Chains A and B, each alone.
Chain A
Amino acid sequence: MATDYADATDRTVPRTLRMLARLMPSADREAILGDLLEDAAFRDLQGHRRTVWLAGECGSIATGLAVDRVRGWVIVPPVREVVSGLAVDVRGALHDNPAGTLLRALVFVGSVATLVLGVELLVSTLMSASGF
């Protein structure tokens, strides 16, 4: 039965709505879309008004969820917490195997320094070759 409903109603789901719905996280998409269709039916919206209402609601939900997701990525923890977290990690690492940890740290710093020097050398060679 569920498939029949889907087949019957998908034809009436505006293309704009289907496109906007793709902006939502896939796990939430179908349930939210279902809520919107149910509410549109409850409000007895038809034709152009229904399309505009659905697109507006879908767009605002997709935007809200996207903004919230991005906000989760860009929120930087307070410096104090980062420093204390690093201190705890470093203390733990040094406690377990100090020689190995120091060696890995030296290799890491050495690799980064080598990369930086390499890039600088490459850029200066290219600049001098092109006459700057």
Chain B
Amino acid sequence: MARVDLGDMEHLVLLAILRLGQDAYGIPILDEVCARSGRDVSRATVYVALKRLEQKGLVASKLGDSTPERGGRAKRFFRMKPSGLKALQESREMFLGLWRDYESVLDRA
């Protein structure tokens, strides 16, 4: 299978889905991305990234339960597909390769 390039936000959202496991839907994903990245990420950015990840076939979604405060609207839960995990692994390998031998340079800076 051809290598899938991940955008910065796609990377963060995939990691959030991986960390959240069964509870990965819009709100917790946004909270997780903001908390872990330390950025004030907009909700729209996360939904766009989720849409792209789904189109790339890296995540799948299914409708789940709802609560009264959601007005009877179901939650859309996201789960990582094997291709998503593979994309994350490849991305990690690539970055580790890029950073190799440069840690000392950063330490000196």
Contact = CB atoms under 8 A, between A and B. Distances in A.
Interface of A: 2-10, 12-13, 25, 28, 30-35, 37-39, 41-42, 57, 60-61, 63-65, 68
A46 B72 CA distance: 19
Interface stretch (B37-45, B88-96, B100-108): B37-45
Interface of B: 25-27, 42-45, 47-48, 51-52, 63, 66-76
A118 B87 CA distance: 54
A9 B27 contact: no
User: Which label, helix, strand, loop or mixed, suits the secondary structure of the A interface?
Assistant: helix
Contacts of B43: 57, 60-61
B52 A68 contact: yes
Given A28-B51, A32-B26, A4 B72 contact: yes
